[in-house]
Structure 1
């Protein structure tokens, strides 16, 4: 049983993507930034969002209001050209914004 769990962990470790939950956002191997990529603060917001935190929790972490978080996420969705948060997370991972 333990061998199976270790193998499962190793598999997910190999296929997983790094998650940067720092204010700098891009530390640790982020790809080159283009003109349409978010700033470091927005990368931090994205990292918190894809980690599954609620808007209220993110707002507390960043010391801003919940409405500010919602507005910034909407701005990121517009930047990415997507309609849902799920699409934003996928787009952010694909474009190496995380």
Structure 2
């Protein structure tokens, strides 16, 4: 397996091209939102013994905001919840998905149909 590598790009035509490419891709990106029906269906199908049914609407809203890049504190503030409540809901989602990291949770949500991309309204 090759070693990780990095490339330093200084100001010039290559950097300008890379910045423009990033901006073009960023502008075409779609926000990821949790799809409640698919999430509930997948979660119930693969439930570990002893866990309640599946993620509820608030769990899925928490997940959507986390996938948008918000911190736990920002999610709590936006939804009017306590920080510990958000952390408990994230832990429960991770248990439902059978994962140990938040990155895995995001991957699981996308791979198993918990999410759907939607174009912004307006």
Q: TM-score, normalised by structure 2?
A: 0.58
For the 8 Å contact 1:38–1:97, the answer to whether it is kept is no
Of residues 16, 21, 35 in structure 2, which corresponds to 1:26? 35
Count residues with an aligned counterpart. 90
For the 8 Å contact 1:26–1:40, the answer to whether it is kept is no
Deviation of residue 12 (structure 1)? 8.2
Q: Whose strand fraction is larger, Structure 1's or Structure 2's?
A: 2
Instruction: Quote the RMSD (CA, aligned, Å).
Output: 3.2
In structure 2, what is the equivalent of residue 91 of structure 1? 108
Of residues 92, 97, 110 in structure 2, which corresponds to 1:80? 97
Give me the whole-angstrom Cα distance separating, in 1, the residues matched to 2:62 and 2:107.
15
Q: Which runs of 4+ in 1 moved over 4 A?
A: 30-33
- Runs (5+) with no aligned partner, structure 1: none
1:9 aligns with 2:18: no
- Runs (5+) with no aligned partner, structure 2: 1-12, 44-53, 116-122
Q: Which has the larger radius of gyration?
A: 2
Give me the whole-angstrom Cα distance separating, in 1, the residues matched to 2:73 and 2:67.
14
Q: TM-score, normalised by structure 1?
A: 0.70
